Amino acid sequence: MEAKANIIRKYAEAEPESKVDIICKYYSQIDGIINARIAGMKYIIWEEKERNRRAEHGELGVRVQSGNGYSDPTGNEGCFRADLEKTIRNCDFSGDLLDGIEHPEKIIEEARVLKEMKEIQNLYDLQIACLLTEDRVLFQKYLKQEMNLTDIASSCKIDYTSAIKKIGRIKKYVKHEVIEFLESTSCQIGTN
């Protein structure tokens, strides 16, 4: 099994055609990869923010609450983490969430890559949804690793080589449709 960071790095460095190949190859893992990386990013940001906050207040360890003011550290943490997840998923760092973070540009770049991966996965799914029912069901089961080529050959009552060609044809069609969207800068239907 390839490490999530390697898959993301390959994706970030890839051309549009290769990006679609990566989405197809890791189709059943993409959501998990994105969610795991976002969870890791949240943890890193939270820990660095907490370390900076403690250093600012000269705290050496656990803080004992003093004063008359209302304090809800658990609620504050929950709100911050929810805002942080939304910020990362939307790749919108316009607020001050990354203030005091040592390398915010790395976090912003990774968030941008993760957002793009999700968008291309969604575009890939939409193109699959346009397939004929039989092809769509077979291809989805193949991508989700619920059926292998032997299962597809048996299900369609075709030989193994024909199953390879059938899946290859579907994969090529979906990839072509996705790449067409990625390479165009605007919709040009009905223009000369």
Lookup result for tokens 């008359």: 68
Question: Is 90 exceeded by the pLDDT of residue 5?
Answer: no
pLDDT digits (tens, 9 = 90+) for 47-58: 898 888 888 776
Radius of gyration of the chain from Cα atoms? Answer: 23
The whole-number average pLDDT for the span 103-130 is: 95
Whole-number pLDDT of residue 18: 94
Using a 10 angstrom Cβ sphere, with 0-12 exposed, 13-18 middle and 19 or more buried, the burial of residue 66 is: exposed
Cβ atoms of 170 and 135 within 8 Å: the answer is yes
Phi-psi region of 50 (alpha: psi -120 to 50; beta: other; left: phi over 0): alpha
User: What's the predicted TM-score (pTM) here?
Assistant: 0.79
Spell out the alpha helix ranges (H) of 95-143. Answer: 104-129, 133-143
Pairwise CA distance, residues 80 & 56, whole Å: 19
Following DSSP, what letter does each residue of 127-179 receive, concatenated? Answer: HHHTS-HHHHHHHHHHHTTSS-HHHHHHHHT--HHHHHHHHHHHHHHHHHHHH
pLDDT band at 36 (very low <50, low <70, confident <90, very high): very high
HSE, CB side, 13 Å, CA atoms: give it for residue 44: 15
Looking at residue 64, the DSSP 8-state letter turns out to be P
Residue whose C-alpha is closest to residue 148's, from 28, 32, 31, 30 = 28
Greater model confidence, 70 or 74: 74
**Top-ranked range on mean pLDDT: pick from 28-37, 47-56, 59-68, 71-80:** 28-37
Cβ atoms of 114 and 106 within 8 Å: the answer is no
Whole-number pLDDT of residue 85: 87
